[in-house]
């Protein structure tokens, strides 16, 4: 099956700093989503972005499907951004494989 690698595995930031999270995948994909998992385990949708660029407030994402990677940008980080960020990709229309995640800690 498709391999999904996320980097870095762990990230510690001072509040207000910016960060870039990366997702590499081993095959062409038709689906790609970014999620934030909060401390209670809930997976929250950030972006559905199989290609192109999207922005939502302090967060933005870019997927370059031809080069098999996606980036999640977090600007002016806040303590509430802490948690684990997952990238999930799929080859067929409604199939998703998850990466191992990036654990983000934002320090006040």
Least distance between another protein and beta carbon 50 (Å): 9
- Given 36, 97, 104, 106, the residue binding another protein (CB under 8 A): 97
Distance between CA atoms of 59 and 57, rounded to whole angstroms?
5
Give the rounded distance of the alpha carbon of 67 from its chain centre.
Answer: 16
- Stretch of 10-18, 61-69, 71-79, 96-104 lying at the interface with another protein (CB under 8 A): 96-104
Neighbours of 51 (CB within 10 A): 13
* Residues in region 52-81 near another protein by CB under 8 A: none
For the residues of 38-74, what is the DSSP string, one character each? Answer: -TT--EEEEEE-SSEEEEETTEEEEEEGGGTEEEEEE
**Closest CB to another protein among 41 and 108?**
41
Positions in the binding site for another protein (CB under 8 A): 4, 30-31, 33, 35, 40-43, 45, 48, 86, 88, 90, 93-101
């Amino acid at each position: 099956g498709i391999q999904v690698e996320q980097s870095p595995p762990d990230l510690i930031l001072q509040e207000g700093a910016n960060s870039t999270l990366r997702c590499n995948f081993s095959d062409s994909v038709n689906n790609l989503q970014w999620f934030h998992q909060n401390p209670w385990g809930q997976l929250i949708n950030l972006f559905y972005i199989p290609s192109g660029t999207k922005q939502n407030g302090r967060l933005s994402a870019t997927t370059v499907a031809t080069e098999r990677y996606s980036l999640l940008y977090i600007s002016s980080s806040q303590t509430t951004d802490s948690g684990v960020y997952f990238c999930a990709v799929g080859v067929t229309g409604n199939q998703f494989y998850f990466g191992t995640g990036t654990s983000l800690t934002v320090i006040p």
